[in-house]
Structures are given as structure tokens and as C-alpha cells.
Chain A
Amino acid sequence: MSRVWNETGIAQAGPDSALRRTAARALEFGRLVLASRAAVLGLLLLLAVVAVATLGRLWFPGDPWEMGGPPMLWPGEDPAHPLGTDFMGRDLATGLVSGAGVSLLIGLVSTLISAFVGVTIGALAGYYRGWVDAVLLRVIELFQTVPNFVLAVVLVAIFKPSVATAVFAIGIVSWPPTARLVRSEFLQLREREFVLAGRTIGMGHARLILTQILPNALPPVVVVSTLSIAHAIQTEAALAFLGLGDPNVMSWGTIIGIGREQVVDAWYICGLPGVAIIVTVLGFSLLGEGLNDALNPHLRRR
């Protein structure tokens, strides 16, 4: 690792110079990202959430559904339950730790799905244009007309609530922005000289799309996907809040849903997971903003 670091920026001719160039570009990009205050703050918040999800497990290894103590303990009231308990005596700290893992997992996996669907549809529409574009654009418009959350509720309710259906439903409703973005990138990139050059030397459609255009279209997709993770985490929490969470998994939304009936007497049961959601979502959106600044340096400071 340190060897690569020392040699950044020095473009050496050699068999591995392409690799080295990529590494140098990645490092340069990393430095730009770290120069953005938003990105650093976002990364710190996310590190904290990841630490809660992983190290927190060691601290609070219990089953979040288990009745661990007296019910309705306020935070700080009993050192054995530092964040208190809900009306069934379930430990809130254990629940929050479990929720951190669920949120990160569902956010990341559903965004992978939506990025895959969005990139595929956007790439096909932008590359082939014509009737393919017309048809796919209709599909994109359709999914942007249907209220996303209502569709997610319908999908999860009909296919039985579970982590898998939540991931699937959130992925299905959140790909259109990615598709639109990739489509417009492809529409521009396909006219560029290097694509023409690739076509001239006889590259096929698949090879042109995958090895020439796609790598150049991906950076903005990373930004959109970071924001999409934030949105997915909120959607998961909302589904679980409505009682459409996986019945075996304690997520932040589940805890808010559970605490809802007693919210007036014990607002901390709903309050704490809400703060956890805000911190996580804030982390991803700050990181997304920082990535965006690093990709478009000329747009910074507005």
C-alpha cells in the first residue's frame, strides 16, 4: 500500500503502467474527497454507525427481542440498560445495535439492486436510442409516476414482510433516477471520439458498452447511489414502522413502531432510533455531497 502511495503521479512506462495510472487517479480522487469538509464529516458519522453495528455487538450481544429487564426504564436510570427499555422490558441499546446492522445491510444491498437495474436500463436506452429508448423511457416514467412508497408497501405486504422482500421492494422502486442519469451520460458519451475509435477497430456493442462507455459513466452513478442508500435506509425504517418489517429482525423502524403507543409517556423509545436514522442518513448524504464536489470541482463553493 505504502509503495503505491510513494509513487503516485509518476507515470512510469512499463507493463503495469495502466494499473499504476488507475491507482494514481484513485488516490488523487481520494485526496479531493478528503479535502471536502462535508465528505470527511459524513465519513466520520458513517464510521461511528459501522462501529456501533460491529463493535456494539460485543458490548450488547443479547437478543434484541428478549425481555432483559424491568419495562419502561428511562435512559440512564439503570447502568445495566444505559439507553433504557421499552414497555416489554427489551433493552434499547441492544435494539439500536441490531438496527444499525439491518439499516446498513438493507441500504447497501437494495442500492446495489437499484444501481444494477438503473445502469442496465439507462445504458440500453442511451446506447441504442430509437424505439428501445422510447419504450424504456416510458417504463422509467411509469415508475416515477407511481408513488414509490405506496408501491413498496404493496410489494412487501403481498410478498410477506422479510429482509429479502424489503431489499427487493426498495430496489425496485428506487432505480429510475440512476437510469435517467446513465441514459443521459450514454447519449453524450456514445458520440465521443474514443467510442468511434472503438467502433472503427471492430468492437461489438457489448464490448463498447461494457469496456468503453460504462467506466466513464460510472462516477456520477456512485454519487447518486450514495444518496440512494440514504433514501433506502429511510424507506426501510418507514416500512418497519408501518409493521411491514421482518418479524424476526429488530430494525430502527420496528422500535419506533413498537414505542409509538407509549410515545407520549416515554418519547425516548421512539426518539433514540430516530436520532440514529438521522445520523446515518446524514452521513450518507454528506458523503454523497463530498463525492459530488470532488467529481465536479468547478461547481464547488456555490
Chain B
Amino acid sequence: MASPLIGFLRRRLLQVVPVVFGIALLNFVILQAAPGDIVDVLAGEAGAATPEYMAQLRASFGLDQPLWVQFRQYLLNVATLDLGYSFRQNMPVFDLIVARMPATLLLMGAAIVFALALGVLLGVLSAIRVRSWLDDVLSVFVLVTYAMPTFWLGLMAIVLFSARLGWLPSGGMVDLGASHTGLALAWDVARHALLPALTLSTFYLAVYTKLVRTAMLELYGADFIRTARAKGAGELRITLAHALRNALLPLVTMVGYQVASLLSGAVLVESVFNWPGIGRLAFEAVMARDFNLLLGILLLSSILVTLINVLVDLLYAWLDPRVQLAGGGSA
């Protein structure tokens, strides 16, 4: 198992390289197309600047070089993880983003777990009670949830669960007054994470409910289910061990597709709940017009998506014995 795994990882990570190159190119194009450059920004900060001084600054940043030289320099910087400096936050962009990464990963992970667990549960319920009132209620729920803007749902959840009922904190990641440690800290973070994670998960929850329902209904007609039934397996065993296990495969594929969209959703949820992740950082960067930081977030979050997709491929191979790591590579 060890050597095909390493081979798979090496092949898959090599595929990431052109993607990163493409993302860097996209970033560079946006940077070039943007009105004004970093020197204009700096000059604006400093107040008055003579044209001679600005020309000198441009030369020191290499902005007077031909485009391809600038792009080569930009690629070199990206390769050495140098994404520039955020003058607003007084920190290198890369360090800023990496410091915020764990909070976002925690939020995304919790949201995916909620969405998968509840989505599978509701999807199975609606499939085994197909065309019942429960199925109808769940399909209306799915439709409305599709249409609901995540950030609006978050605001309404704050009104209901923190302001009116007072059950959960309305924002942040920890209780700043109480300096908890150990288990108490974990409990505190969990309490703070519950509302944002549930908010972020609702859209995906609806998608998975619908997906699992469709997949289960299709599988109920499949030959191997009929065989299992003929062997005398109970309905519960058929549902869980035969149908559900196979219904999970399209689900994992879907999760892989949705990593990017989940990150997009995190930006909004984090700014609603003041969750200190890269989404909140992006919001702060927008407010401060800190474009360097914003482009760094775009670059690193895209790379994060490709890396998570590698993990999803591994998970797929583990779930479906027919997929072999030594084979084509991408699932």
C-alpha cells in the first residue's frame, strides 16, 4: 500500500504544478490590468511624491522592466512563498494568511461533517419514505435552502439563537474575557463554531440530501439490491450496507467539486460571524483596499483547493475498491 500511495501522491502533486502556474498567471494579469500600481498606492499613503521619486520607486520594484521579466520575477516570488508585504497589517502577506488558515479549515471541516451527516440522514429518510409527507417536506426544505443567501441565514441565526434565545455566542472564535485552556478552550471554540458551521453547511446539506435521495432511489432498482433481497437480507441492512455505501460515491465526488465553493461561502460566513479565518481577512482586506493581501488570499486559497482535491481523490480510492491509486490517478 505504501509505495502506490507515494507514487500516486507524487503524480498528483505534479499535476498541481500547472494549476498553480495558471493561478499565478491569472493573478498577474489582474495585477497588470488593475488601475494604478503599488507605487501609486505608496505615494498616496505618503501624501505628496515627486514624479522623479515615483520613477525611482518603480525602478526599485522592477516595474520598469518588460512584462515577461516582471512575470518571471513574480513566479520566482510565488515559488519562494514571497507574496509581498501588507502595509496595512504590517506583516508579510504569506504569514498573515497562514496564521488565519487553521480557523478556516476548522470551519470548513465542521461544515462538511454536518452537511454530510445530516444530508445522508435526510436523503435516506426521504428515499425510504418516497412520496410521503416527509419526502414532500424535505423537498420543499431543499428548494428553499438552495435559494437562501448564506450570509442572510447567518444574520437571522444570530438574531434567533444568540440575541433572542441566548443559547450561543454571536461571533468570534473564543470568549475573549475568559482565558480558557485545554478542554474548556475546546468547548468554548466548539460553542462559537456551531452557528457559523451550521450556517455554512445548509446549502451543501440540501445538495447532499437531494443527491443521496436520487442515488438511493436509482440503486433500489439495481440488480445487486434485488440479489441481496432474494438472499433474505433485511431492509435495514439493504439500505445501509448495500444501497447507502454505493450512494456515498457520487457524494464524495460532489464534495471534491465543491471545495472551491465552500471556501467562497466561508468568506461570507466568516465576515458575518467575525470568525478569524482567511474569509474574514479577505473582508478586512476589502475594507482597507489592501489589494496585495487580497491577491495573496486568492492565490493561496486556490492552491488550498487543489490540495484538498488530492485528499478527496485518496478518500475516493479508499471508499471504492475498484479505483486503484496505481491507475490513471485522478478519480
Contacts and interface: CB of A to CB of B under 8 A. Distances in A.
Interface in A153-201: 153-155, 157-160
B144 interface: yes
The interface size bin for chain A is: 35 or more
Interface of A is mostly: helix
A147 B158 contact: no
A151 interface: yes
A56 interface: no
Nearest to A284: B147
B155 A150 contact: no
Contacts of A263: 155, 158-159
The interface size bin for chain B is: 35 or more
Interface string A258-285: 0010011001001101100111011001
Interface stretch (B114-122, B172-180, B234-242, B281-289): B281-289
A127 interface: no
Interface stretch (B76-84, B244-252, B299-307, B311-319): B299-307
A256 interface: yes
B143 A286 contact: yes
A234 interface: yes
B294 A148 contact: no
Given A138-B22, A146-B302, A149-B265, A243 B286 contact: yes
A244 interface: yes
A145 B297 contact: no
Contacts, number: 134
B149 interface: yes
Contact of B267 (A141, A150, A230): A150
A142 B23 contact: yes
B289 A157 contact: yes
Given A142-B22, A150-B282, A274 B152 contact: yes
A238 interface: yes
Contacts of B286: 153, 157, 242-244
Interface string B1-44: 00000000000000000110011001000100111000000000
Given A142-B26, A150-B267, A302-B214, A278 B19 contact: no
Interface of B: 18-19, 22-23, 26, 30, 33-35, 143-144, 146-152, 155-156, 158-159, 163, 170, 214, 217, 257, 260-261, 263-265, 267-268, 271, 282-283, 285-287, 289, 291, 294-295, 297-298, 301-302, 305-306, 309
27 contacts: A142-B22, A142-B23, A145-B19, A145-B23, A145-B306, A145-B309, A147-B263, A148-B260, A150-B297, A151-B298, A153-B282, A157-B285, A157-B291, A159-B34, A241-B149, A242-B268, A256-B155, A263-B155, A264-B159, A264-B170, A274-B155, A277-B147, A278-B147, A278-B149, A281-B147, A282-B143, A285-B146
Closest 9 CB pairs of A and B: A149-B264, A274-B152, A281-B147, A147-B263, A142-B22, A282-B147, A264-B163, A147-B264, A267-B159
